[in-house]
Amino acid sequence: MTGVESPVYEPGHGLLKGRTAVITAAAGAGIGGATARRFLEEGARVVVSDAHVRRLKECETELAREFPGAVTAVPCDVTDGTQVTALFEAAVREHGRLDVVVNNAGLGGTSDLVDMSDEQWSRVLDVTLNGTFRCTRAALRLMRETRGGVIVNNSSVVGWRAQAGQAHYAAAKAGVMALTRCAAIEAAGFGVRVNAVAPSLAMHPHLVKVTSADLLEELTAREAFGRYAEPWEVANVIVFLASGYSSYLTGEVVAVSSQHP
């Protein structure tokens, strides 16, 4: 990391005490994993989910050591509607309620449009946009009955800004933004808030594997602080959107970015 100083990790303040949250794509060292940890530190009961069963089990084991009784793991591929339904049913069965959903599952990749296959396009859209739709629909059906809840979707600044090789990912993330706004209007009548975060550059091991060093250096140089975000810095904003401190926000997309034009 570059920059004049490192960010300070803020301790928990009980902002989500007593709430039950479902977080997709929560296994590993990315934004989902950081969000699960931050939610637990803020007092929530967390259902972590991921399509990678082995990594999910490792995540559950690690978090359960620190937060005994507060973590449940349920495997889920968000491209499968049956698995999505089972995930939310398991959360309610385990904890009796559903208060917060973080739709973090997404799939990227780099390919110029002229070389992109139908399968590449469809796979990214199915995980990133359709998966968010499936989980949002399942959550809203439950929250409509309980007359309350919060959904936070993970979008990206590329939903606004052009980047070569990212047509499929950018289209999916722009779709997540539009889905967020429309769902928020529909859900307001039964007391549910729906917002999204749009990170610019949050560093984690998977990003390093799928992005060239030159591109990462270029993207980092665009950031006003001269550094990338830590995944937990994005998670902090998700905590804010899930908490009562954002009680009047719905249909908003919050850029978690220091990027300048």
What element of type H or E holds 187? helix 167-187
**Percentage of residues in the chain having pLDDT higher than 70:** 89
pLDDT tens digits, 150-168: 999 999 999 999 999 999 9
Greater confidence (209 vs 42) lies with 42
Active site residue 9: no
Question: Which listed residue (9, 169, 228, 248) is catalytic?
Answer: 169
* Closest C-alpha to 96, from 20, 190, 17, 16: 20
CA distances from 146 to 22, 133, 155, 239 (A): 16, 20, 26, 21
pLDDT at 101 over 90: yes
Parse the chain into domains and list their residue ranges.
18-254
Tokens of 35: 């969000």
Closest by alpha carbon to 157, among 197, 191, 112, 189?
A: 197
pLDDT score at 208: 43
Rg for the chain, CA atoms, rounded = 17
pLDDT band per the 50, 70, 90 thresholds, residue 224:
low
Do the beta carbons of residue 90 and residue 74 sit within 8 Å? yes
Beta carbons of 199 and 234 less than 8 angstroms apart = yes
| Topology of the domain comprising 18-254 | Rossmann fold (3.40.50)
166's CB contacts (< 8 A; 6+ apart) are: 108, 110, 158
Q: Retrieve residue 28's tokens.
A: 């590993």
